[in-house]
């Protein structure tokens, strides 16, 4: 509708620190919807004030925000300047942005974003504008984390939805949450990038280019015996996102490692991983995380199963692959590159509740189990990343001395 794909979102524009007297303030605009939000630390309890919004919207906002707050000693003021559609979601997004501008320790406890999805003429649509919302038979507003943990869900509209429509709305909203996080993060990085503080060089510090603490822990044993401190991208929130524009796993890992090492003046270890299916010519490969268009496990798995429809079990062979690149500051020609692989097959039906991504479909014949049926300890011993780490252990000490 309106000359955009069903999963496209309206453009976002954020003016950070919009009010000079209240630094934790933003003007958030998505399409024609404009919301001003400001947050002020106080000595009292949480107070949320609304202008131009309904009592229900105000109550929903306060209830949804409360679990995310590091402190309730805040006064939050949110004002709807213009409702161009999806107002409930944009109220949340505006306030969340303002919260991220609070001093360290007072901002939100976890990353989250909101989006509205609508069912219009039997088709699901992400982020409807005012006209599309008026035509919608049902609407859902979702607040969720990048890990697809749903914090709040608001369902409304002119008529009830069946289970199939509901699932479609949830998928569309989940895709929208991922994109909203990306939009907000990109805007934040553009606004704060001139203030990046370059870290002091420390020979006893190595940065793992991930925001996933679990992934970082996999590397701790490699470096702990040498007294080396591990940091992650969570320790440097002001860093810009590095676009993975390479055509191979190695190129993408090099981009991350080399650029971050140059900014921080510290050694950086980066990885790029993915699933390669033989019958699909190695796809999804470097596009594994966004095979279905968004970073959505359910959508990616559904697309994989669809593309393998009718392919017999013996031809559903696949490989989980990891490339690790270890980079020194300003010495990209000396990168240390290692790889790890694990062979398996793609099942027709998911198995197991552990893991993430394609794990429930990736069957390892030697273990008679999928990756999602293994414990964390078992997976960490046989995974593609584990094998890459083994290869790294044989080489990194000599490499880092040079």
Binding residues for Mg(2+): 243, 272
Residue 118 · residue 79 · CB < 8 Å: no
Binding residues: 210-215, 243, 272-273, 356-359, 379, 384-385
Sign of the torsion angle spanned by Cα atoms 128, 130, 134, 138 = positive
Closest CA to 268 of 224, 332, 221: 332
Q: Which residues pair with 148 in a beta bridge?
A: none
List the structure tokens of 275.
């699933």
The torsion region of residue 3 among left (phi > 0), alpha (psi -120 to 50) and beta comes to left
Three-state secondary structure readout of the chain: CCCCCCCCCCCEEEEECCECCECCEEEEEECCEEEEEEEEECCCCCEEEEECCCHHHHHHHHHHHHHHECCCCEEEEEEEEECCCCHHHHHHHHHHHHHCCCCCCCCECCCCEEEEEEEECCEEEECCCHHHHHHCCEEEEEEECCCCCEEEEEEEECCCCCHHHHHHHHHHHHHHHHHHHHHHHHHHHHHHHHHCCCCCCCCCEEEECCCCHHHHHHHHHHHHCCCCEEEEHHHCCCCCCCCCCCCCHHHHHHHHHHHHHHHHCCCEEEEEEEEEEHHHCCCEHHHHHHCCCCCCHHHHHHHHHHHCCCCCHHHCEEEEEEEEEEECCCCHHHCEEEEEEEEEEECCCCCCCCCCCCHHHEEEHHHCEEHHHCCHHHHHHHCHHHHHHHHHHCCHHHHHHC
Residue 402 · residue 326 · CB < 8 Å: no
Sign of the torsion angle spanned by Cα atoms 240, 241, 247, 250 = positive
Catalytic residue, from 272, 294, 297, 335: name it: 272
Half-sphere exposure of 305 (CA within 13 A, CB side): 14
Q: Is there a catalytic annotation at residue 272?
A: yes
Catalytic residues: 272
């Amino acid at each position: 509708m309106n000359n955009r794909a069903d999963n496209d979102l309206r453009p976002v524009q954020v003016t950070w620190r919009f009010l000079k007297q209240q630094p934790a303030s933003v003007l958030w605009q998505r399409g024609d919807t404009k919301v001003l939000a400001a947050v002020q630390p106080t000595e009292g309890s949480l107070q949320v004030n609304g202008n131009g919004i309904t009592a229900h919207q105000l109550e929903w906002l306060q209830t949804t925000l409360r679990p995310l707050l590091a402190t309730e000693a805040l006064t939050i003021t949110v004002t709807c300047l213009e409702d161009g559609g999806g107002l409930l979601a944009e109220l949340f997004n505006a306030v969340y942005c303002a919260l991220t501008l609070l001093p360290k320790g007072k901002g939100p406890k976890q990353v989250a974003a909101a989006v509205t999805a609508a069912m219009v003429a039997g088709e699901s649509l992400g982020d409807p504008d005012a006209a599309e919302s008026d035509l919608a038979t049902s609407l859902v507003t979702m607040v969720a984390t990048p890990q697809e943990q749903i914090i709040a869900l608001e369902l409304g509209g002119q008529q009830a939805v069946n289970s199939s429509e509901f699932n479609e709305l949830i998928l569309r909203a989940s895709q929208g949450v991922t994109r909203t996080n990306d939009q907000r993060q990109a805007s934040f990085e553009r606004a704060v990038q001139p203030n990046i503080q370059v870290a002091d060089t420390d020979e006893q510090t190595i940065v793992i280019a991930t925001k996933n603490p679990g992934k970082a822990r996999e590397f701790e044993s490699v470096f702990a015996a040498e007294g080396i401190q591990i940091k992650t991208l969570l320790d440097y929130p002001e860093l810009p996102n590095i676009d993975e524009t390479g055509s191979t796993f190695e190129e993408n890992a090099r981009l991350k490692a080399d650029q971050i090492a140059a900014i921080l003046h510290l050694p950086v270890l980066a990885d790029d991983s993915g699933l390669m299916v033989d019958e699909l010519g190695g796809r999804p490969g470097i596009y594994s995380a966004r095979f279905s268009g968004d970073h959505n496990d359910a959508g990616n798995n559904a697309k994989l199963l669809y593309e393998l429809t009718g392919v017999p079990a013996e031809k559903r062979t696949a490989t989980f692959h990891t490339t690790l690149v270890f980079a020194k500051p300003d010495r990209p020609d000396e990168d240390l590159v290692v790889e790890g692989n694990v062979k398996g097959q793609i099942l027709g039906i998911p198995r197991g509740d552990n893991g993430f991504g394609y794990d429930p479909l990736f069957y390892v014949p030697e273990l008679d189990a999928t990756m999602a049926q293994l414990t964390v300890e078992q997976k960490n011993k046989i995974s593609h990343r584990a094998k890459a780490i083994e290869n790294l252990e044989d080489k990194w000490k000599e490499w880092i001395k040079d």
